[in-house]
Amino acid sequence: MMARSPAANPICHPRTLPVLHVRRRPARQCYPGNLIRAVSLRLAIFASAACVAAAQSTLLDAMSQELTRNFTVLKQKAEPPPYFLSYEITEQEYKSISGTLGTIDGTGGGKERQLDVSVRVGTPKLDNYHSVRGDRGQFTSGMAVTYEDSVNSIKRRLWLETDRAYRSAAQRLIRITTNTQVKVAAEDSSDDFSVEPAAVSMQAPVKLEFDAASWNQRVRKLSARFQNYQKVLTSHISVIGQTDTRYFVNTEGSRLVFGRGFARVIITASAKASDGTDLSSFETFEAVEASGLPDDKTLNAAVDRVANDVTNLLIAPEAEPFVGPAIFSGRAAGVFFHEIFGHRVEGHRQKDEAEGQTFTKSVNQSVLPSFLSVVFDPTRRKVGGVDLNGWYDYDDEGVKARPVLAVDKGVLKTFLMSRSPINGFGESNGHGRRQPGLEPVSRQSNLIVESTNAVSDAKLRQMLIAEVKKQGKPYGLYFRDITGGFTTTARAGLQAFKVIPVIVYRIYPDGRPDQLVRGTDIVGTPLSSFSKIMATGDKPEVFNGYCGAESGSVPVSAVSPSILVSEIEIEKKAKSNDRPPLLSEPTELEKGAGK
């Protein structure tokens, strides 16, 4: 599901969780004014590079040495022997501050390393990762490794984890071999592992830059502003900066150091209506590093919008179940495509017979309107000046990131591929992803929707009103913002999705003002929903979040223009039976300290 921009899960949610995976800082360039400066600068750069290389080599060399030793011994002595081994160590460092009503209620920070071991026993045709009725096996454990460059400690952890992972892999291969002898043959008989070229790249580890003292004061002032809004029950401002550096080696010769930095501000507020409905709104801002986050003027305006949205929702009528035309804002449309389309083109779902396999046999067939194309591009860092959350240089199987044109003018061309081949697609396209401690599978990155039937926002609204009149509906809907969504793709479950809107308006055809409503969820089934898309807006918008699925939570982005659909269904949202607080607020809050 797509992590919501505060959270979610059957398959994914775009969310604003404070566990951010950060981006690598852009390389700085220098243009010397004379030869002496140029030579001095080059010497400084070489010295700096040597220091970086030395720091890298301690960890990476220990990994490479132990990889060679363990693989050689297992090949000679173990039965069955492994044919592939890889190590990935993820080093994460973060600092965070959160506050409410002018106070700091939480600070955090830390640095850690986690080790993932991938060992393959058998052959690329059939190995211990072979999927059996949805069960793919779990061999790595995300074991903690010292973040100090202690060679003995690192090597000992690598040795113990390799031994444990090998034993588990060998036992599962025996079970798989027996299973294939007594079960019917799988429809997709492609190999379990693809051959990929070795990758070698050494980037400087990302340095965390986070001015905690400055952000401490800014969070106090920003959070105090909510004291001006007496209807808001709870509110929070959080800011986090994080770096994520990955060290990767395998027995094919790959040797990688790559990473990213990321920073985020999260503004949230909530209230409770008289009927028990929990109401909330949020805004988030993302940047490569904390210094790139917006200034206080922009953040103050965001606090006011969030607080006003929650206040207005308290007096908004509850939505009723409805089927009719609607416009999704670009952010809402991005989550819509992530949930109903993106998860269904992840490669491993085409091979797993427990999955619904919505598009498995649809390659070179029309799956979307002919004016739409969909690209997954982890190499894109920005769209319209907004940093994207789903970028990376290499995936978690050591394969270089690349753009993937999944749908070209409505026609499905390919799937998102890890190193697990499927019929017709025998190689990875750099989308094998995971959070530390889990096995990689094919996952989304930056989903980008492109349209050749784009019109202005005003024209799109006119088209909506015309469609409302044509269908004889009392109104249409406009979904301004969403908090995430989820979908189910398993064959045993419902092939359906749910998108969770926050701000929804009724658009009346007779010229009445738009009416804010509350308490709605969008529901539907994928194939029928695709056929309802009529046109798009002409301005792409970005939704940054986190997506949770089999391989854990990974950073993603969805970029889309607004879309007009001829039909969408909403249902009432579940609500609590609890009443709002019986006691009035403390009188001190009436002073409005945030003014």
| pLDDT tens figures, 197-209 | 999 999 998 899 9
Beta-bridged to residue 140, according to DSSP, are none
Residue 356 binned pLDDT confidence (cut-offs 50, 70, 90):
confident
H/E segment holding residue 395? none
Q: Which residues contact 125 (CB under 8 A, 6 or more apart)?
A: 191, 192
What is the C-alpha end-to-end distance of the chain, expressed in Å? 39
CB 322, CB 477: distance < 8 Å: yes
Integer-rounded Cα radius of gyration of the chain: 26
Q: Determine contact, residues 541/560, Cβ cutoff 8 Å.
A: yes
Residue 595 — very low, low, confident or very high, per pLDDT cuts 50/70/90?
very low
Residue 1 pLDDT greater than 90, yes or no: no
Is the per-residue pLDDT at 38 higher than 60?
no
The pLDDT tens digits of the residues spanning 541-569 come to 999 999 999 999 999 999 999 999 999 99
pLDDT in tens, 285-303: 998 889 999 999 999 999 9
What's the whole-number average pLDDT of the chain? 87
Residue 3 pLDDT more than 70? no
The larger pLDDT score, comparing residue 113 to residue 16, is at 113
Q: How far is residue 542's CA from residue 284's CA, in Å, rounded to a whole number?
A: 11
| Dist CA 218 CA 239 (whole Å) | 10
Dist CA 429 CA 363 (whole Å): 16
Name beta bridge partners: 267: 237, 283
pTM score:
0.87
Sheet holding 552-560, edge to edge: 411-412, 404-408, 372-376, 446-451, 552-560, 541-549
pLDDT at position 573 is 82
Q: 344 versus 4: which is more confidently predicted? A: 344
Nearest residue to 22 (alpha-carbon basis) of 274, 277, 306, 246? 246
**Do the beta carbons of residue 278 and residue 270 sit within 8 Å?**
yes
User: How many C-beta atoms surround the C-beta of residue 137 within 10 A?
Assistant: 18
Cβ(321)–Cβ(160) under 8 Å? no
Mean pLDDT is lowest, of 24-38, 41-55, 261-275, 357-371, for: 24-38
184: its two tokens: 């019917």
% of the chain surpassing 70 pLDDT: 87
> For residue 445, what are its two tokens?
């990155």
Query: What is the structure's pLDDT at 522?
Result: 92
pLDDT tens digit sequence for 381-407: 999 999 999 999 999 999 999 999 999
Q: Which of 3-12, 142-151, 268-277 has the lowest mean pLDDT?
A: 3-12
- Top pLDDT among 321 and 179 is at 321
Token couple for 15: 């969310």
Residue 18 has phi, psi (to 5 degrees) of: -80, 25
CA dist., res. 367 & res. 206, Å (int):
41
pLDDT at 134 over 60: yes
DSSP string for residues in 80-96: SPEEEEEEEEEEEEEEE
As a whole number of angstroms, the distance between CA 191 and CA 201 comes to 28
- The residue-averaged pLDDT of 37-56 equals 39
Among 92-106, 136-150, 419-433, the minimum mean pLDDT is found in 136-150
- CA distance linking residue 164 with residue 116, whole number of Å: 12
The per-residue pLDDT for 16 is 36
What is the pLDDT at residue 589? 53
